[in-house]
Structure 1
Amino acid sequence: MLSTAPSHAVDLDRAKALYLEGKYAEAIPLYQTAAREGDIEAQDRLGLMYAMGRGTRQDGQQAVVWTTRAAEQGSVNAQLNLGSAYNGTPGVARDPVKSLYWYQKAAASGDALAQYFVGLAYAHGAGVARDQDKAFEMFSMSAKQGNAFGQYNLGVAYATGSGVGRDMAKALANFESAANQGYGNAQFALAIASAKGDGVPVDALKARGWFMKAAGSKDPATQYLIAKAYMMGQIVPADSEKGIAYFTRAASQGHVESQYSLGYIYLNGHGAARNLSEAGKWMIIAQHEGHPQAGAAVESIRKTMAPQDFDEAAALAQRWLQTPH
């Protein structure tokens, strides 16, 4: 007697092909069918599609529903995605305890990125008591598997003596491993070390070389470091125009410290002409994104500006927040 493959398996293959072609609207009903039938891969992908708004409107709650089903069935990828969802996804209440729980599940299965996230939680006390020894342990596990984020943070631990004795030789070795994978923060760390002679001889040429590599990064955290360096004249000559440009790039990707920095620059005329409208806009954005000092700055600006001018700045901020970047 001839056997035939289950229909959902055929549909799932078709869904994968459509997804790879970017035909998300055609793929999603096939993923939905397979997910309802309990297919882990389909549940995981469906959760991602809801999270990203691919083939459907973005829906954080549905993303969590389907990703949770896959995670509970043991999908390491879904566990990692669920940890990230609770760490900050539109439509999902931030919950550091739940985030850490799912990251730990994935980390226990050996996922290097999850191990890095668990280390980060222990380092910052997010969802758990701060524990630098545990953070060092998790960063070490992640770094050993070649994860650039783990390597960089292990380097930071060695450089600062967090959870381990300070050892710049080991710090630099880990920074270099991460930098060679293109991680901008690590490239910047090597630039600083070469400029200051921290663990290596002072080498201005090498410092600038690593700096320029970091300057090409699309990571907003690295762009923020580059912006500060240009504003302060660190490693490279001071250039406020370039500094503001890098702050703006990072701010456009949701980097809250860069958003606050732009507000500060325009409020105080530091590196640019004083502009209360721009200051108000960026401080309101930073406040919306959760910067702890932005609220007080917004109130200060409100008292300084004419009501109609402040309302205009608030409208600019609202427009910015509603525009995809």
Structure 2
Amino acid sequence: MMLPRSIPILSALLLLTAPAAAQISLTPPATTPSPAPEKPKAAKPPAPAKKKEAAPAPKPSPSPSAPPTATVIPAPPTDSSGVDLVYGAYQRGQYKTAFDLATARAQGGDPKAMTMLGQLYSGALGIKRDYAKAAEWYKRASDAGDRQAMLELAMLRIAGRGGPIDKGEAVKLLASASKLGEPKAAYNLALLYLDGQTLPQDVKRSAELLRQAADAGLPEAQYALATFYKEGTGVEKDIDKAVRLLQAATLADNVDAEVEYAIALFNGTGTPRNPPAAVALLRKAARQNSPIAQNRLARILITGMGAPVDKVEGFKWHLVAKTAGKGDPDLDAQLTELNPDDRAKAEAAAKKWLGTK
């Protein structure tokens, strides 16, 4: 039995809204590392006076025509172990403390603290949600060169939060953040080039941006680029590259990739055939509420091709997938032929999973 492919390319990709807490302002996310904020260089101390000199030379008075001295942003306050106190409070859920500490730092000109304030205002974390203030802090941080603030402000502009919808500004912000190495900005910009509404459709440019984000380890981009290689969209068709990208995204727990990689393993497409590994991945994705995984797993368990027959479990997943719009007429027909006891067990198991028992 060959399992069919699962997800059409466009429905898999058009996801323009960033998760509310997907980006943490003061340290990089675990799966998409960003460079840590640069610590300002401390001013060099004056050279020690040579022993032969009676006294150190007096400091020269600044010339009236000399350029103004650059403002030095103080280093983030840390505890004795060197942990950033603002980020530490954020990670512990102490949002009010994070807000107070970030406010003091933002007033001192720290762009990462400004981005944190934007995150707190946007996510209603420790303070009342205020998209206008979030946009204000993101704007100040992005003007100071913070790539994450650029991404966050772009998402607000696309959604029309904290101000009117401004896709033109959003595109500029995403482009700037992408150039600075922000993978989520490259990913979202790729989607805009693919969609062809905000920007002229350019699948090759979309593929380039997806590759940038995928190389940085963003699982959504790895999955999306895999579909490009499978279909030959913006790149030459290459099943082997597609499967390698699916495997990478699967290791990062991307559910869509888990389903596609499981199907590749089951069918032996671009990788050695491995039905047990495929079934294990389908089980994992089914438990993560992927209707496609639930449907494919149901087929396997009901037919026994790739795993021992378990019709009660198989029809349970069929009924669960059906409630999410993934009906299967063939399995419906087989369900009517199931003995009453097993059918009752499958229906009870499905209800229990759905929480409707």
Aligned pairs (5 A) from 1:214-293? 214-217=285-288, 223-227=290-294, 229=296, 233=298, 235=300, 237=302, 242=317, 261=325
Using a 3 Å threshold, how does the CA distance of structure 1 residues 201 and 22 change in structure 2: closer, same or farther? closer
Does 2:229 match 1:162?
no
Q: Which has the bigger relative contact order, CA under 8 A and spacing at least 6?
A: 2
Question: 1:28-63 CA distances to partner (integer Å, 9 max, x unpaired)?
Answer: 244334324432122100000001111111122221
Within the candidate set 52, 69, 86, 2:157 is matched to 86
- 1:137 counterpart (184, 205, 208): 208
Task: Provide, for residues 223-258 of structure 1, a one-character-per-residue CA deviation record: whole Å limited to 9, x for no partner.
Answer: 35335546xx5555495754675798xxxxxxxxx6
Partner of 2:187: 116
Cα distance in 2 for residues equivalent to 1:211 and 1:31? 43
Gaps of 5+ in 1: 249-257, 270-325
Does 1:100 find its partner at 2:136?
no
C-alpha separation in 2, matches of 1:167 and 1:8? 48
Preserved CA contact (<8 Å) 2:118 2:138 = yes
2:278 to 207, 222, 237: 207
Q: Which residue of 2 aligns with 1:188?
A: 259
The 3 A distance-change label for structure 1 pair 95 and 246 is farther
Q: Distance in 1 between the 2:152 and 2:265 partners?
A: 37
SS of match in other structure, 1:165: coil
C-alpha distance in 1 between matches for 2:87 and 2:74: 14
Shift of 1:112: 2.4
Aligned length: 246
Secondary structure at 1:146's aligned position in 2?
coil
- The 8 Å contact of residues 23 and 55 in structure 1, kept in 2 or not, is answered as yes
Provide the rounded CA distance (Å) in 2 between the counterparts of 1:72 and 1:188: 41
Q: Secondary structure at the match of 1:86?
A: helix
- Give unpaired runs (5+ residues) of structure 2: 1-71, 303-310, 333-357
Q: Does 1:76 align with 2:147?
A: yes
Aligned AA (1:172): V
Higher helix content, 1 or 2: 1
AA aligned to 1:112 is P
Q: Distance in 2 between matches of 1:142 and 1:131?
A: 17
| Contact 2:132 2:161 (C-alpha < 8 Å) held by counterparts | no
TM-score in terms of structure 2 length: 0.57
Q: Secondary structure at the match of 2:181?
A: coil
**TM-score normalised by the chain length of structure 1:** 0.62
- The aligned residue for residue 151 of structure 1 is 222
Q: For the Cα contact (< 8 Å) 1:115–1:141, is it kept in 2? A: yes
- What residue is the counterpart of 1:44 in the other structure? 115
Q: 1:236 & 1:95 partners in 2: Cα distance?
A: 50
Render the CA deviation track for 1:134-179: whole Å, top value 9, x for unaligned.
1111112222233322222221111011012221111111111221
Matched letter for residue 107 of structure 1 = S
Q: Pick closer, same or farther for the CA change 1:38–1:200 going to 2, 3 Å.
A: closer
In the alignment, the residues of structure 2 paired with residue 225 and residue 84 of structure 1 have an alpha-carbon distance, to the nearest angstrom, of: 29
Amino acid at match of 1:46: L
Provide closer, same or farther for how the CA distance between residues 16 and 143 of structure 1 changes in structure 2, counting only shifts above 3 A.
Answer: closer
How large is the RMSD of aligned CA atoms in angstroms? 3.8
